[in-house]
Amino acid sequence: MKTRNQAKRKNQSTGEEGVPAHDPKANGTLANTSQDGVNKFLKQAGSRRSRGSKKQDNHPLSWDDADKLKGKEKQVNDDSYAQNMSEVKDSKNSSPSNKNDGSPQQAKSELEDVMADSDWEDGSNPNLNSENNHPGYINKDITIEFDSSPGAVKRKPIRRASAEEKEVAELVHRTHLLCLIGRGRLIDSACDDPLIQASLLSLLPANMLKLSEATNLTVDALTPLVNWFHSNFRVRISSNERSFPLALATALETHEGTPEEVAALSVALFRALNFSTRFVSILDAASLKPDADRCDDMSQGRKLGKGVFDSSTIMVTQSNEASTSSDKHTAPVGVDQKIASEASTKASSQRKSKKSGQSQSQIVSRDTDSTVVDQSNEKTMDPSSTGVKRKGDIEFEMQMEMALAATAAQTLERNLDNDVKSSNISSSSLSPFKRLKKIKFEESQDISTAVGSRKIGAPLYWAEVYCGGENSTGKWVHVDAVNAIVDGEHKVEAAAAACKTNLRYVVAFAGQGAKDVTRRYCAKWYKIASHRVNSTWWDAVLRPLKELECRATEGTSGTPNNVKREERTYLEDMELETKALTEPLPTNQQAYKNHHLYALERWLTKYQILHPKGPVLGFCSGHSVYPRACVQTLHTKERWMREGLQLKVNELPAKVLKRSTKVNKGKVPEADEDDENDCAGPGGTIDLYGKWQTEPLCLPSAENGIVPKNDRGQVDVWSEKCLPPGTVHLGFPRIFAIAKKLEIDYAPAMVGFEFRNGRSFPVYNGIVVCSEFKNIILEAYAEEEVRRGEEERRKNEAQAISRWYQLLSSIITRQRLNNRYAEGVSSQPSNDIQKTNDAFHQTSEDVQKPMSDEANEDVGQPDVGPQPLFEEDHEHVFLTNDPGSDVESSVRIKRCQCGFSIEVEEL
DNA sequence: CTGCATCACAACGCTTTGGACTCC
DNA sequence: CGGAGTCCTTTGCGTTGTGATGCA
């Protein structure tokens, strides 16, 4: 594949050097001509490059652009381009030395001939032409600017992901999910470590130990415990590259760890207290859509690793340096601090997880020097990150601070841990970032702008504790020990959204199992649905894990409550399902396009209809909102037939579509146009029916061994449902011959269509016969196949022998010719011949053997030893009564003692 | 500035039952 | 003469998803 960049180089090789070294005859004018051609090609490539954009003429294109665009231009029709390029090159190189006398005009005309074959647009660049005549011109580098009038709209070429890229992205997404599930299970099992649990219990104040005896645990009872934990365990900035159980032990020992470790410790503590507890994690997998991550990275500078996170952390800690201590247990401040530090650790964990994920090449490990650049990029690339009025200023200030801090990252890094530990900050001393964040967080939801543009501080890990005392039936309560939040499930979505974390999968882990509890934390499912993987796959992955999880949470001797443990799962499933079915109506129309619950009539596709048309659940911009369940897919009669359904009698089409013009195959379009208005005819419309208008297919059944066929004399086997009663589909090749031979009635089974050469062809697979003949035919088929296989094998062997014979005899013939005619030239002794003969003798024997061992014995030439097989006047003598004959096919193989054999057929 | 509605367009899915010619 | 085999040639429209743009 040649890129435009290569084109540039090519151009330079002719242009900068003036006369290419490999073509001394080329003069300046010829080079100019060539260059002209190259320019034209570039122009062509440029126009192809911006494929699809009608405003391509306005697209500025220069050599420099070519460099920038290197590697990005997959959509250029490179092959034809490369071909054209080589044509230019060839003509340039060959013309002077061939028929040309070097005359520039002739060369040019020849080139033009070449050019004429390609789809050039005639056009000239006056500047180029005028300067072309200048002798020194060719030494200049060329920049071509296509006329881009000042007012012209510059449109970014749209780069869309191909199906392949989408597939890759999905595979990466799935793989990443599996990795994250694996990680979750790992952490979950680490939380079950009895040593860890015992150690945590030993740290717990005596008054809290009583909690384990409490019946019907409540949120209120949990709160002091969570506060105690929060005040005793802190979030560390960097993670250790160690095995998780080890890291967890260290975290326990040092009372600080990554958010993941701290959350895991909290889970371990709750489990130690005999609470039914899950470790919950947001699986922030690589995007399901190609390039989404890259865009995010570019615009937000997130996920990229060290630089960004270091600097953001530093920013916080710097402000901490200036802070004084205050109430340690004030949750919002704690949250604030934790969020910031959590972000850093999340970064490292993301870095880790990303290793198994998508676009590794995009994850550039950056040193601290580049951090400033990152920050400035972040600033420039996310101009939207400003708030009501002065948010922009605040953010600018903040980012400036971050940038400055980043430069000092190395020296300050050592101090970070301590700084973060002293997390008690009075709100008056907070940096703008923190102040804003704090205010926002206290307001709880809807953090969307300035600070939110950074994907940091998102809650990623927490616990769910089953509280039997909550509600009448008990419930799973969200416990975020990292941020000291109890029962804050409604805050998670907003907090995650504020930090640009995709809350697509929230998975609860317990007992080596896992359960998707995203519904509990997600109010606007329609927003995440399209970012989630195919639910069939996801459900299949989780099914076994869900059972494990279910067994674990039901089986643990948890808090006693008034609900049987077996019912917990059921109740939770109901809760999640209820939540799924009671989403509020979106306020914008577009949300209804693919909404799983609601639909607007205007967003229905051609093949959809509302049936029944009601009830109206509400209104959006004046449009009635209907339940999605009312949306029915329509099909043609034939299409329903494929599904094994047929129309009920006297059903009128639910919808009638005008047939597209292409159906009018005849070359009289005008006549069709005339008929357009009254296209009530069957050819002019397509009748569509809904499923409610159909009933199970009722085909005529087979009678007297006769298969009912359609008007083409076949049976369309779209599925088993399409088989006439009393018939079976035998999808084996060549089976029709058996049925024919046995004189059993059959019909070819058409199983689909293959689209080839712009036309579709029916694809057949076996036959349809009456059920009573199934066994007879199959038995006969099996016998026939054995026979056929045997015959095939024989044929193959015979062919192999024949080919070996041809090969070897050609070698011998060659040797003989050498022997006879090259004697005078070469005095090579005849050893070679002898060798060859030996070789042949051996080989031919080996080859013949498998065919008929008895034959060889009968021939009586075993172990005769090497002897010259071919004498010049050797005449083949074939033995009679050679048993190597095939009685059935009357084929005989005649052999000579020299090894020669020939296949003859007796008539 | 933000969110929404609409436009534009690239990608993709669905379409759906040959015929002329040569060789044996 | 007829049957079997081979080769020809490589759609195009509608739908959908998504980026761009304009407006409130």
Residue A838 forms part of a structural domain: no
Q: Which carries the bigger pLDDT value, residue A24 or residue A478?
A: A478
* pLDDT band (50, 70, 90) for residue A875: low
A50 touches strand B (CB under 7 A): no
Q: How confident is the model over A559-572, as a mean pLDDT?
A: 67
Show which of A453, A468, A488 is a domain's final residue. Answer: A453
Residue indicated by tokens 């979750």? A184
A54 touches strand C (CB under 7 A): no
Q: Which residues in range 137-156 of chain A are in contact with strand C, contact meaning CB within 7 A of any of its atoms? A: 153, 155-156
Domain match, A233 and A179 both:
yes
- Least-confidence region, from A173-187, A552-566, A634-648: A552-566
Q: Which carries the bigger pLDDT value, residue A243 or residue A23?
A: A243
Backbone φ/ψ region at A475: left (φ over 0), alpha (ψ -120 to 50), beta? beta
Tokens of A238: 């960097």
- Least-confidence region, from A41-45, A381-385, A734-738: A381-385
What pLDDT sits at residue A879? Answer: 61
Residue A757 CA and nucleotide B23 C1' are separated, in Å, by 24
A255 touches strand C (CB under 7 A): no
Q: CB-based contacts of A666: which residues, under 8 Å, 6+ apart?
A: A672
Most confident of A116-120, A209-213, A628-632: A628-632
CA A316 – CA A320 distance, rounded (Å): 6
CA A67 – CA A72 distance, rounded (Å): 10
Residue A59 has pLDDT above 60, yes or no: no
Percent of all residues in chain A with a pLDDT value above 90, rounded to a whole number: 13
Residue A52 CA and nucleotide B8 C1' are separated, in Å, by 10
Could you tell me if A702 and A725 are in contact, meaning their C-beta atoms sit under 8 angstroms apart? yes
What pLDDT sits at residue A636? Answer: 84
Domain match, A509 and A615 both:
no
How many domains does one find in chain A? 7
Q: Which of A721, A725, A708, A714 lies closest to A771, judged by CA? A: A725
Q: Which residue is nearest to nucleotide C9 (CA to C1')?
A: A757
What pLDDT sits at residue A181? Answer: 95
Could you tell me if A208 and A228 are in contact, meaning their C-beta atoms sit under 8 angstroms apart? yes
Residue A583 CA and nucleotide B3 C1' are separated, in Å, by 21
Q: How confident is the model over A387-408, as a mean pLDDT?
A: 41
**Residues pairing with A756 in the sheet:** A759
CA distances from A67 to A7, A49, A403 (A): 10, 14, 30
CATH number at residue A593: 2.20.20.110
CA A545 – CA A478 distance, rounded (Å): 21
A331-365 core/surface letters (b: 16 or more CB in 10 A; e: else): bbbbbbbbbbbbbbbbbbbbbebbebbbbeeebee
Percent of all residues in chain A with a pLDDT value above 70, rounded to a whole number: 50
Show which of A658, A679, A696 is a domain's final residue. Answer: A696
Residue A830 forms part of a structural domain: no
Domain match, A427 and A482 both:
no
Domain match, A524 and A571 both:
yes
Residue indicated by tokens 């001394």? A24
What pLDDT sits at residue A811? Answer: 94
- The strand pair at A655-658 and A685-688 is best described as antiparallel
Tokens of A612: 């029944």
**Residues pairing with A894 in the sheet:** A902
Instruction: Verify cis geometry, omega within 30 degrees of 0, for the bond prior to A157.
Output: no
What pLDDT sits at residue A262? Answer: 92
A274-306 core/surface letters (b: 16 or more CB in 10 A; e: else): bbbbbbbbbbbbbbbbbbbbeebbbbbbbbbbb
Residue A157 forms part of a structural domain: no
- Least-confidence region, from A119-133, A449-463, A517-531, A538-552: A119-133
Domain match, A121 and A25 both:
yes
Q: How confident is the model over A541-570, as a mean pLDDT?
A: 73
Most confident of A85-94, A134-143, A804-813, A878-887: A804-813
Residue A75 forms part of a structural domain: yes
Residue A159 forms part of a structural domain: no
Q: Which carries the bigger pLDDT value, residue A640 or residue A593?
A: A640
Residue A833 forms part of a structural domain: no
* pLDDT band (50, 70, 90) for residue A770: very high
A891, containing H or E segment? strand A891-895
Q: CB-based contacts of A815: which residues, under 8 Å, 6+ apart?
A: A832, A833, A836
- The string of pLDDT tens digits covering residues A307-355 is 232 332 223 333 333 333 333 333 333 333 333 333 333 333 433 333 3
- The string of pLDDT tens digits covering residues A250-306 is 999 999 888 899 999 999 999 999 888 999 999 988 877 775 554 444 333 333 333
Residue A758 CA and nucleotide B16 C1' are separated, in Å, by 11
Residue A149 forms part of a structural domain: no
Residue A151 forms part of a structural domain: no
CA distances from A249 to A202, A245, A246, A298, A341 (A): 14, 6, 5, 37, 20
Domain match, A109 and A227 both:
no
- CA R_g for chain A: 40
- The string of pLDDT tens digits covering residues A285-297 is 887 777 555 444 4
Instruction: Please tell me whether residue A412 adopts helix, strand or coil conformation.
Output: helix
Q: Which residue is nearest to nucleotide C7 (CA to C1')?
A: A757
CA A175 – CA A356 distance, rounded (Å): 8
Q: Which residue is nearest to nucleotide B11 (CA to C1')?
A: A162
Tokens of A389: 């009025």
Q: Which nucleotides of C are covered by protein (CB under 7 A)?
A: 8-21
Domain match, A9 and A90 both:
yes
Q: How confident is the model over A760-783, as a mean pLDDT?
A: 88
What pLDDT sits at residue A892? Answer: 67
Residue A227's Cβ-side half-sphere holds a number of Cα atoms within 13 Å equal to 14
Instruction: Please tell me whether residue A136 adopts helix, strand or coil conformation.
Output: helix
- Least-confidence region, from A378-387, A686-695, A714-723: A378-387
Residue A433 CA and nucleotide B2 C1' are separated, in Å, by 22
A289 touches strand C (CB under 7 A): yes
Residue A771 has pLDDT above 90, yes or no: yes
Q: Which residue is nearest to nucleotide C15 (CA to C1')?
A: A605
Residue A449's Cβ-side half-sphere holds a number of Cα atoms within 13 Å equal to 18
Q: How confident is the model over A596-608, as a mean pLDDT?
A: 83
Domain match, A310 and A443 both:
yes
Domain match, A436 and A546 both:
no
What pLDDT sits at residue A552? Answer: 82
- The string of pLDDT tens digits covering residues A204-228 is 888 888 877 777 788 888 899 999 9
Domain match, A338 and A436 both:
yes
Residue numbers of the domain that contains A651: 637-696
A351 touches strand C (CB under 7 A): no
Q: Which nucleotides of B are covered by protein (CB under 7 A)?
A: 1-6, 8-18
Q: How confident is the model over A560-586, as a mean pLDDT?
A: 78
Domain match, A692 and A708 both:
no
A605 touches strand C (CB under 7 A): yes
Domain match, A210 and A182 both:
yes
